[in-house]
Amino acid sequence: MSHWITLPKIEGVASKQAHADLPPESYERELGKEGFYGPSTQMYHRHPPTGWSDVQGPLRPRAFDTTRLEANQTSPWNAFRLLSNPHLQFRLWKTDSSMDHLVRNADGDELLFIHQGGGDLYCDYGHLAFREGDYILLPRGTLWRVETENPLCLLLLEATADSYQLPDKGIVGSHAVFDPAVLDTPEIDESFLAQQTESEWRVVVKRRGALSTIIYPFNPLDAVGWHGTLLPVRLNWRDIRPVMSHRYHIPPSAHTTFAASRFVVCTFCPRPIESDPGALKVPFFHNNDDYDEVLFYHQGEFFSRDNIHPGMMTLHPSGITHGPHPKAFEAGKKALRKETNEVAVMVDARDALEVAEFPPGVEWTGYVDSWK
């Protein structure tokens, strides 16, 4: 049980409520524990908290253009590892052909997000068609492969030695954000039965980061039936109905889609922008001091950022304030937009993320200066 020191106090000039009716000519910054779940303080500044003139050293906001990464990796085990820590492997897989082998992740649950393309997934449990915008959750140890006639681009999010669960939705109830009834599962259909051949198949298993190959003289996806509560599920972002308020800017934690022990996966979907005159209409400046924050931009225009396009990824590490870009902040003050149109996948990781060695030209090195 948590026993935080909670001594509510107001010092100097401050608003009555967080994220609304800020003191004139002030900029709000939130300092918080446990992401946005724990105790927090709203600080009011004379200058934008991101108004630095220079940042020296390794701690800085970073941005990467994954559209510049090499394509056509024949196996998910060849996917480019973007970010990682002992509890999370964040990879990008690009392929333009069907897999000629099966894979099994013995290191943790695998969450696929389909950034581009569509096709068919075959796994122990049956056949599942997929399209752009789908999440597919594969429990640890599931055998799977994909078939496609078009180029694919997928995010692969491994919960290392862990499992994904649905977040606690609290007082809004289990049907909020998305009703579990919209989750699709694989089926043992004609397409699945037709691929059960007696020809030789390879299974490439990842365990403790090392690959092993198991050869079968038949297709091991040969199930005739199953029953139980452990199974893959599919969710499309279009079935997510975000929690929102016209009078209060809802923090990112309310957009959590899947939760592991040491990180969460959130989805930002199109929604109306706050209409109350006193409410913030862009994300507030904040120190997310217990988490590293990653955003992968799937489609649309991200309303709090400039010069960001689909396929880009940003990293805002713990220890440095982040928040909206100046143009977005000013547009929010003037209420120039009535709704958002972006779709983005966000990961909040409790443990520091290691950044991969990217090929030249992938990282936008000027991102740290984009708040000037």
Confirm whether residue 286 is marked as ligand binding: yes
Residue 316 is labelled as binding a ligand: no
Q: Is 289 known as a binding-site position?
A: no
Annotate 309-332 with b (16+ C-beta within 10 A) or e (fewer). ebbbbbbbbbebbbbbbeebbebb
Give residue for tokens 């290691």.
354
Q: Spell out where 59-151 has E strands.
A: 62-65, 80-85, 88-95, 102-105, 108-116, 119-123, 126-130, 134-138, 143-147
**Which entry of 19, 87, 115, 249 is annotated as an active-site residue?**
249
| Cα Rg of the chain (Å, integer) | 22
Residue 328 one-letter amino acid: A
Report how far residue 220's alpha carbon sits from residue 123's, in angstroms, rounded to the nearest whole number: 9
Chain centre to alpha carbon of residue 112: 10
Residue from 108, 101, 126, 127 nearest 214 by CA? 101
Catalytic annotation present for 249:
yes
Distance, CA of 173 to CA of 155 (rounded, Å): 29
Q: How wide is the angle at C-alpha 33 spanned by C-alphas 26 and 20, nearest 5°?
A: 30
Question: Which residue has tokens 């809802």?
Answer: 250
| Annotated binding residues for homogentisate | 322
Which residues have a catalytic role annotated?
249
| Annotated binding residues for Fe cation | 286, 292, 322
